[in-house]
Chains A and B, each alone.
Chain A
Amino acid sequence: MHPDVVVVGAGIIGAACAQALKARGLDVLVLDRHGPASGTSSAGEGNVLVSDKEPGPELDLALASRELWPDLGADAEWEEKGGLVVATTPEAAEPLKAFAAAQRAAGIDACELTPQEALSHEPHLNPDITAAVHYLQDAQLNPVKATKALLRGIRIINAEVSTTDGRSVTTSDGVISCGAVVNATGPWARNFGVNVLPRRGVVLVTTPIPGTIRHKVYDADYVGAVASGDADLQTSGVVESTQAGTVLIGSSRQRKGFDDTIESKVLKALARKAIALFPMLTDVPVMRAYGGFRPYAPDHLPIIGEDPRTPGLWHATGHEGAGVGLAPATGRLLAELLTGATPLVDPHPFRVDRPEVMV
């Protein structure tokens, strides 16, 4: 066995890399210690968002991904549900409108709505909102099904990788030599030399109330929470339904290593913010809470490229809270760089050789 490329990690990013490499004719082997989508990729809401990104390299990657997902995610409950971002205080209204205007200039479909119009889109929304923007490109899929769809026809072996030199990987079952190695181990990517850390997120799931909430609806303060580097708990209201009718409630961000205990203060903050958006949720029971660890780089940009210290070792990680949305373009970019083709977006901002990234 001597595959052209070994991809370590069968999360959505590893799967997208493997798919793109295979599409370019390479022989790919994927290794994961627990199987497909067993890490962060099964812990998210599965949103493919452009709404939360300001103009810049991450938005470029997101827009490129948004083009690719409808084909790749067709079997993965792909739904173009649209996002509704709302301001809940008078002070938040103008910044939201300005943010949307800048996004529009960068090619995003961001439609300003009056509060009344927003209520006609989302009848249960708190009538006290002060501004709203409708993002038509925001979509959702089932990340586990999407991961499996990307991996179709690709060899996967359950094995843990301990080390790699870029030309081989040492696994729990022996050494596999190969042409190149892709580190797609998400929040565990630090084990292979890049500064990726876990940022905890918790999601609440209610009993089904089909048809009540139609879009992904979130408070405009979410964008600030995402960009923050603060270790303390940050929460903002993010509410949406799944196709099964359950309502998913986020979002929390907390740096506390790989500690996965559920804290009542997180549940409280999430519940309060969800009720602030949709008062009718007050009496709806939560039946489950779950969480995961977003893989983040200190400068909040994904890491996609070859490691200058270890030729043959490539990284595709650090997607933080947007890995599902960014997966297809990440895979494509990595495959293009690895095969010497013209990249679909400027790869420079994502290079490994960044001061915050090299450890």
Chain B
Amino acid sequence: MVDSEPEAGGQFLRGRAKFEHRGVTHLKNTEAWLVEDRTLHLRGPKQLHFDALVIATGAYDRPLPFPGWDGPGVITAGAAQALAKQGVTLAERVIVAGTGPFLLPVATALLDLGATLVGVYEASSPTRWLRESKAVLANRHKIAELASYRKVLSHLETRTAVIAKHGDRVTVAKLDRHWRPVSHRTEHADLVCIGHGFLPRTDLVPNAKRTNDFLDVDERQQTSIPGVYAAGEVTGIGGADLAEAEGIIAGAAAAHQEPPARALEAVRKGRLFAQALARAHAIQPGWQTWLNPDTTVCRCEKVSLQDLSDATSMRELKLTSRVAMGRCQGRICARNAAELTGIPFDGQRRVIAVPIPLGELAALPEEPS
């Protein structure tokens, strides 16, 4: 088990998972950067040769840009949660904004650390969930989970978004169903935590088939590449319990064992929830009206909306405007840039999953024997 973090647990259980299992070697603080045939290349450099590989690299928050999002005092909800789990107090007055139920645990964690919660703003309308009764009934435990966030529910405003931040002045807007602002007011906050859904971290398998960027898997969690399995948020966003159940199936299948029926059932139900989640919290195009011509779209290369050139493909757009060409390699901005220009999003094949010093590349063995 290879993981870039010092402890097992990932985004949800970080630090709380006491992982220990005989027969499992846990390589901590270790990043994987390339899959080449049956070899997994690790930083170091080091190679692992496998018969089966399970990709469980999770997802990261997608932030939507607005004037001021690239300035101080704006971070992603995921980053806020990770810091909160380390007990870091981030600010006095905080806002959590975006879409999806994962805003609630973040707000709770910040509140527990003693922050003043100015508001939790959900861009979508809660009525969208009324159409999802089948998914909700199959996942009643999610409602119970909701109850554990009651402390922050009183701060929750739906059809609401942060659409600008200048210093500690935050413009909070009421939205129509396309997420176009219909009215706005000013709030004061030192920190705005944003998360508009998630993007999967799939760079290790750039050639695996995917739908809407998430990896396609069969009922045994196998990707389109034989012997390569995927589990968790790389296949879709449905919460930690679905991710765990997928991991159980992928692990069993990779070891040529029959997956437990309970896990299969949990995945079946969990996927209903994941699909409902994707529909109920789908990004609506009205966010594009939050930007001014000079609003930053790509932070690494300082590319603003007005710099996005006419182009017919992502590659052309990148090479003429430099959007998505910087340190993050478009992980944060490419999707947004595609939507802002109407260019089809091509899933961004990146062949090197994490930056790797030239010295390590030079030290690779002659042939991955």
Residues of A within 8 A of B (CB): 34-38, 42, 142-145, 148, 158, 204, 206-208, 244, 246, 249, 261-265, 267-268, 270-272, 274-275, 281-290
> How far, in Å, is B316 (CB) from chain A's closest CB?
6
Interface flag for B357 (CB, 8 Å): yes
Are B351 and A289 in contact (CB-based, < 8 A)?
A: yes
Q: Choose among A42, A204, A244, A264 the residue with the greatest number of B CB atoms under 10 Å from its CB.
A: A264
Are B359 and A275 in contact (CB-based, < 8 A)?
A: yes
Closest to B300 in A: A208
Are B361 and A288 in contact (CB-based, < 8 A)?
A: no
Are B358 and A207 in contact (CB-based, < 8 A)?
A: no
Closest to B360 in A: A271
Are A287 and B327 in contact (CB-based, < 8 A)?
A: yes
> How far, in Å, is A24 (CB) from chain B's closest CB?
27
Number of A-B residue pairs at CB separation under 8 A: 109
Closest to A46 in B: B319
Interface flag for B356 (CB, 8 Å): yes
Interface residues on chain B, size class = 20 to 34
Closest to B41 in A: A264
B350 contacts across to A, CB distance below 8 A: 288
Closest to A145 in B: B320
Contact with A along B198-229 (1 / 0, CB 8 A): 00000000010000000000000000000000
Partner of B362, one of A144, A244, A262, A275: A275
Are B312 and A286 in contact (CB-based, < 8 A)?
A: no
Are B320 and A148 in contact (CB-based, < 8 A)?
A: yes
Please name 12 pairs of A and B residues whose Cβ atoms are closer than 8 Å in the assembled complex, sorted by A. A35-B311, A35-B316, A208-B327, A262-B351, A268-B361, A268-B364, A272-B362, A282-B359, A283-B359, A285-B357, A286-B358, A288-B351
Top 4 nearest A-B pairs (CB, nearest first) are A35-B312, A271-B361, A285-B355, A282-B359
Are A42 and B361 in contact (CB-based, < 8 A)?
A: no
> How far, in Å, is A283 (CB) from chain B's closest CB?
5
Are B367 and A144 in contact (CB-based, < 8 A)?
A: no
Are A38 and B316 in contact (CB-based, < 8 A)?
A: yes
Contact with A along B34-77 (1 / 0, CB 8 A): 10100101000000000000000000000000000000000000
A271 contacts across to B, CB distance below 8 A: 358-359, 361-362, 364
Are B316 and A36 in contact (CB-based, < 8 A)?
A: yes
Interface flag for B315 (CB, 8 Å): yes
Interface flag for B6 (CB, 8 Å): no
Are B358 and A36 in contact (CB-based, < 8 A)?
A: no
Closest to A144 in B: B319
Are A264 and B362 in contact (CB-based, < 8 A)?
A: no
Are A285 and B362 in contact (CB-based, < 8 A)?
A: no
Interface flag for B366 (CB, 8 Å): yes
